[in-house]
Amino acid sequence: MTHGTIHSVESCGTVDGPGIRFIVFTQGCPLRCQYCHNADTWEFGCGRSVSATAIIEEAEGYRSFFEATGGGITFSGGEPLAQPEFLEAALREAKQKGLHTVIDTAGSVVPKNIDQILDHTDLVLLDIKHIDDATCRILTGRSNANTLAFAKRLADRNIPVWIRHVLVPGLTMTETFLRQTGEFIRTLGNVERVEVLPYHQLGVYKWEALGLDYPLKDVLPPSAEDATAAQELLTSYLS
């Protein structure tokens, strides 16, 4: 029986895919995003051990909500692709049970069994951290090469994608970078939606609890007008 480690679950999520969703937050992430609001999911080797079968059985308890709203199960994190065997097994069981499946990922890890994982995935929420590689390395500690290559792989397989992009003043919130992101999105052909997520400081207390220095403590969230303008700009590249 295949096991993975998870940080937590959310039984009735409404922002990580269509409908009401059972969200599994996996433990462990290779990125160190400066604005991360789940820094407590970074470390590998900790968290609750659970079998793929058990987590799908838990999700099935909410089937009536899924059926009423077009929801299902979402694997988030952390980085779910960093536990590929567990993810593949859980997705396979979910599809056998007739559940709609979503992966919420930054695409920074592309495991050997990625095609088997995608065989059982209905939708990918892909977080493009930054379109500029040098700035992405500053923002996350890693290159964006894997993310962009993963996006193209999803396009080649015609798997539906929702692009997510965190709007951070001074880092991602420039017209040049937004237009470059839009131009990349335009090349894919399988993107159904773009979601601009305004930067916030709601996770600062987790950094402090972990004894970490929050690098963006002096950065204020974007205005509602700026967020709307960015959303409209990126969405225009879908037409």
Q: Which of 72, 63, 68, 65 is nearest to 22 (CA)?
A: 72
Reading the block at residue 12, the tokens are 């009735």
- One-letter-per-residue 3-state SS of 27-67: CCCCCCCCCCCCHHHCCCCCCEEEEHHHHHHHHHCCHHHHH
Q: Give the model confidence (pLDDT) of 32-80 as tens digits.
A: 999 999 999 999 989 999 999 999 999 999 999 999 999 999 999 999 9
Q: Give the model confidence (pLDDT) of 11-25 as tens digits.
A: 999 999 999 999 999
Confidence (pTM): 0.96
Domain around 191: 3-238
pLDDT of residue 211: 94
Number of separate domains in the chain? 1
pLDDT of residue 53: 98
CATH of the domain at 151: 3.20.20.70
pLDDT of residue 202: 85
- Say which DSSP state 78 is in: S
